[in-house]
Structures are given as structure tokens and as C-alpha cells.
Structure 1
């Protein structure tokens, strides 16, 4: 292997696609697309001005599922409650060899799973700077959905998850958070504020933009919900909304897609969409509804605004600073039905759609966020210390 001209950035992520370059994506990969996957898809190209970007994902591990031993063998398995997602307990020796061969200048751990633990172990042992990312409110998700293990109460599972997350992120040399509110939350967990860096998400303005009315995917007026159809995402809450006769469309797929589709035939189920087709679903909608309250950011909110479509959402979740960035971008209420009612009764509260799109395009850029990421990685380097990582002890 020829020596790269730029320093190697290794991104370790369990949120990944098996065949990311396939057109169209396989049905299995369609179910795996989420905000974490799309974050690093968006950062990938602009990060290449700084780094030779490499990835380590569960699909790099074929595994030996019939063999035992955490030291020598890799063990793939599905994520609990999210069977379409895959992770792996990588062997210590295999992980050490993979990272050692790459000689990365910096390692970024995008997900707090077993691969991330192994990578953190290696980096702390060998003095490589390492950053982590807080993308998912796992403790809140687990509180609502549980581990899927009989006999484990949800509140117990949530407390265990929170303790795990605190310890994990305290070990990183730098931590990536999308919003000031998330940073404040991590500080409340006991992390040092100076090691938490804001790296937001951006939008591809070539795809997410206003489209002509005749390009709308529906001839009828409609309200749309876009995202993974998975537990904890509030999709059924969207299905149950009273929209005063206005059509409801769900765009996306996931582990409970078929179940909800059968249960709610009155809703149009558009399945997985990408590229301009996805942009047209946003742009053609009267309103975009975000029913989830566990989002750490709400990337779909940014995409909707970039298409000029206002948002109705709950007052809980990381999307709040996006909607509050300017008057007239959306409406938030404690109850989702109240937010939708307000949006339908008082459309005058929103900016004109062209101004919503113009504001989003001006303030949401992947190139800018790649620069923020680079600054985070550079800040992590002096913090890297050659010491053995002992999980469970804060440094």
C-alpha cells in the first residue's frame, strides 16, 4: 500500500451500509439508513481536503460466529430491537491489526458499540488521539423501548445505558455534539466543557431545495413524515394525527414498516426514497412533521427547511435550536397534535417558503461543519496520552 499524501482519519461506525455505492440501495441497506449514516455521508467529501478518510464498519468483519473467544474471533450479531442493523464484537487482535496497519493520525468513534470500545482501547493504549460522537439519546430510547431482554425493567436498562454512555465519552480526547443544548447535557454528565466540540450537520442544497409545484409526488395536498420507521421514532403517533382530511404520507422504511402499513391503510407509505425524489417529497408537502422526541438533532428538519417546508414538532429533542434559529421556521408544542393544529390553523406564522429555503441554504453547510470537525481532531491531539484504557474508570 502506497503511503497516503494526507494523514489518515479512521471513522469507526456501527451505523453503516453494506453496499453504500449501490444504485438503488438494497432493501436491507434502505432499512439501515439513519441520521448517523447520513451525517458521515455528508462529511465524507469535504473532510477529504484534510484527510485520507477511511472507515471501519461491521461489514469489514465476516466473523466466525460458531467459534468462541473474544480475543481471537470476531462475532457479528444484530442490534437488539433493531434487527436490520448489524454490529460485531471484534477480536482484540483483529482490531489491533486493522488500526495498526492504517497508522491513523486520528480515530473518530461515531457509535458507542462494541467496535467503538475496542477502538477506544487501542487508541488509549497506543497514544492515538480519539474523538467520540454523541448522536443518539440511547438512554431515552431504552427507557421507552427497553433492551428487549425479558425481566429487565426499562428504568433499570435506561440507568445502565446512561452510566455506560457517561463512562464511554469521558474517555475520549474530544467529543462531538451537534448543538449547544447537547453540549450542556454532556457537561451535566460530568464531561469537561472544553473537550466538547460543536459539529452540526449540513444539507446537500442540490437535492434539498424548492421544486416546482408540478414536480410534487402527489396531486393531493399532503403532510409528510420522513425517517426510519423504527421503534422510538413516533411514526405511529404521526399516523394517529387528525389532519382535517389532509393526506398523510410516510417516507422511509425500517423494522416496523410492514406492521404499521398494515395497521394504518389510510396513510400512504412511500417507502425508501433518495436523491431528488426525496427532496420532492419534502418540497411538495404542506407541512413536515417530526414525531420523535429522542432526536439529538433532527437532520430531517434541516432538509425540510432547505426545501422551504415548515415544520411541526414537539418541544423535546435536539431539533429545537434549528426551529428557533429564526422566527417562522416551524411550530413546537408539548403535544404533537397541538403543533399540527397550530400549523394548519395559522399558516401565516411561517415565513414564505422561498425565504425558509434561503435561510437554510445560507446557514447549513457540510463544508463548514467539516472544518469544525478538523478543529476538533486537532484539539484532541494534545490530549492523547499513552495509557491503557480501563473501561469503567474515568480519567
Structure 2
């Protein structure tokens, strides 16, 4: 199948959306699908205000539309709500092309945390952007319930996976871990305000705190928490070694729709501590993680869990299953996906 995927999030950005799309596109190509990925690397771009690591493509509807038309895809998927997503949306609507979208990020909560304004101010944009989609791909039931409350009901299930060949408990931890007081508490992800990392770094449970990742808050957090250990960006086996060597993985975010890093940690046998919010509520079970209103309580309970139970739960996620779900959301028929003929699709406004 010829599939066009439009995304404002792409390498060299490092985040869950980029990693999801990277794994899914790789698996789609392995299965013989022909892909067009329209991403910021194809255009001139400018840094996103307050978050320069993210580049915003300078592309309009005609440029993006010309690429889509030349490729003549059987399915169009718009992964993000940024400039490229907007351009693709406009082109599809003006051309009568059906398309699917995905809700990867809790943008209303994300923007509320960054601006201090209420999340309710940003929901109209989300409803407007996703409303004409033939199907919105969503990773968890908690987020689906929230979108239904926002009158977005045309939802499709699309979960996430983990590279089990890379993330494994059988990897030696980084040398520095041998000199740290236990338990080693690990955070992996963007170092940004919406990730609530201060809650992790300021928790009072004994042990060492290790942060893996980069982002706009890195310098500030280094200055405010000099006893923490900041390892910068890690990937592949080096990242897996951090997961495997930690005693616990702490996920303090309250704005994620899934939390890919949680299942990577579990696939390395490391239990997870988190708040009882969307993402952890959907990903964790009683044997793989603990959730509480106080991180200290969640950490204490998670440290009692068996690593073999965490490993078993982590290994239940696969990118093969994720790609099956992605394709099902694009296919017509009983799965409720979109019709993907290259031509007008009735009912798209």
C-alpha cells in the first residue's frame, strides 16, 4: 500500500512521537509498503519559540499538497497538529481526500503548563483540527474517554511497542551506576517544563536520581539540583543499560498520552513509579508499577515489585502489533478505518 505520513516531529528530535513514527515506518517498509514521509527535513525551518530543539517547517498547503498528489497515496495519515499537519489537512479537505490523524500529545494540558492559561482555551483548536479526520488514532482508553468528552468520537486504537532486541535486562549497567547510592531512581525523556521533572528530582525517597535526556530545562535543573546526575541524551544499547541498571523508573509527567519510556523500562525488568494519570493508568498493572498522589509513596511500593513480573509485562508490547493496529485504522471494513482510494471521500468537511 502507498501511504503518505505527514509529521512535524522527526529526527533529529528525540521524543516519543519521533520514536514511534520511526519504528512504525521501518516496520511498514519491511512489510513492503511504499511510504512518503513529509517532515521538517524536507523544508527550511525555524526553531519553535521556547523549544529550539523542535523545528517548525516553512511549508504551505500547495507545497505539501504537490508532494501528496505526486505520490498518489491510497492513505494519508497526519501525525501532528503543527505547520505541516495544518498544510496537509488543508490540502486534503480542499481536494476531497480522506485522511486519518493521531492524538500523540496532550496539547491543551501541555500548553496550559507552559502558558499558565487554562487547558479549556486550547481544546477548540484540537476539536477543529481533528474533527474532519475520518479516524483519530489514540493509544489508550483513558485518552479516548477524554476525547469523547470533547465530542471527538471517531477514534481508532493504536498502541505502542518496544524493541525487544534492544531493551533487555541482560545488559551491563553504566560504570557510574556502581558508585551511586541505591536505590537508583531513573528518569528518561525530554527535559522540559511539561514533564514535571522537578517532582522527580525533589522527591524525598532515599537513593540517587539520574536524568537521561536533553531539553530547554536542562541548565536550570542542573543548577537547582546539583546532587542529581544528568547523563544527556542516550540511545540504543546505552539507553537500555541505564534502564537495566536502575532500581526504579520514575515517570512524573501528567501530560503524556502513553509514555513509551515506561514500557522500555519494563522490558528491561525495571518497575515504574508514577502519578495515577492518563498514560500510567493505561500502561501499568499492579505487578509492573505503582501509582500514588505522592511520588515517594509510588516509589516505595514499586521497589517491592518483582523484576520478572515487570519484564513479562514489558515484553507484551511489540511494534509488530502496533503496526497491525495502524494498518487496521487505515483499512476500510469492519475495523472502522478510512476509505483510502485516491479521490473524493464523502462526508469529509
> Could you tell me the TM-score, scaled by structure 1's length?
0.81
Q: Tell me, yes or no, if the aligned pair for 1:210 and 1:354 is still in contact at 8 Å.
A: no
- 1:284 offset after TM fit, Å? 0.8
2:346 and 2:124 mapped to 1: Cα distance? 21
* Cα-to-partner distance string for 1:324-379 (whole Å, 9 max, x where unaligned): 2xx311110012233224335xx1xx1x2123213321x20101110111110113
Instruction: State the secondary structure of the residue aligned to 2:338.
Output: helix
Instruction: State the secondary structure of the residue aligned to 2:328.
Output: helix
2:34 and 2:176 mapped to 1: Cα distance? 39
2:47 and 2:89 mapped to 1: Cα distance? 21
1:329 and 1:367 mapped to 2: Cα distance? 22
Instruction: State the secondary structure of the residue aligned to 1:302.
Output: helix
2:127 and 2:322 mapped to 1: Cα distance? 25
Q: Tell me, yes or no, if the aligned pair for 2:173 and 2:244 is still in contact at 8 Å.
A: no
1:270 to 218, 226, 231: 231
Instruction: State the secondary structure of the residue aligned to 2:186.
Output: strand
- 1:116 offset after TM fit, Å? 0.8
1:251 to 209, 212, 228: 212
Q: Which runs of 5+ in 1 are unaligned?
A: 1-6, 18-28, 63-75, 147-152
Q: Tell me, yes or no, if the aligned pair for 2:162 and 2:267 is still in contact at 8 Å.
A: yes
Note the 1:1-395 alignment, pairs <5 A.
Answer: 7-17=1-11, 29=12, 32-48=13-29, 49=31, 51-62=33-44, 76-146=45-115, 154-155=117-118, 158-192=119-153, 195-212=154-171, 218-219=177-178, 220=180, 221=182, 222-244=184-206, 246-324=207-285, 327-344=286-303, 347=304, 350=305, 352-361=306-315, 363-379=316-332, 380-382=337-339, 386=344, 395=349
2:268 and 2:151 mapped to 1: Cα distance? 38
* Cα-to-partner distance string for 1:134-186 (whole Å, 9 max, x where unaligned): 0000101111111xxxxxx612xx33321000111111111100011212222
Q: Aligned-pair RMSD on alpha carbons?
A: 2.1
* Cα-to-partner distance string for 1:35-73 (whole Å, 9 max, x where unaligned): 1001111212222225212211122112xxxxxxxxxxx
2:120 and 2:340 mapped to 1: Cα distance? 29
Instruction: State the secondary structure of the residue aligned to 2:216.
Output: coil
Q: Tell me, yes or no, if the aligned pair for 1:208 and 1:276 is still in contact at 8 Å.
A: yes
Q: Tell me, yes or no, if the aligned pair for 1:295 and 1:317 is still in contact at 8 Å.
A: yes
> Could you tell me the TM-score, scaled by structure 2's length?
0.91
2:34 and 2:66 mapped to 1: Cα distance? 19
Instruction: State the secondary structure of the residue aligned to 2:320.
Output: helix
- 1:212 offset after TM fit, Å? 5.0
Q: Tell me, yes or no, if the aligned pair for 2:192 and 2:216 is still in contact at 8 Å.
A: yes
- 1:253 offset after TM fit, Å? 0.8
Q: Which runs of 5+ in 2 are unaligned?
A: none
- 1:84 offset after TM fit, Å? 1.6
Instruction: State the secondary structure of the residue aligned to 1:46.
Output: helix
Q: Do the aligned partners of residues 216 and 377 (structure 1) sit closer, same or farther apart at CA in structure 2, a change above 3 Å counting?
A: farther
Q: Do the aligned partners of residues 145 and 54 (structure 1) sit closer, same or farther apart at CA in structure 2, a change above 3 Å counting?
A: same
For the pair shown, the structure with the greater C-alpha radius of gyration is 1
Q: Do the aligned partners of residues 124 and 283 (structure 1) sit closer, same or farther apart at CA in structure 2, a change above 3 Å counting?
A: same
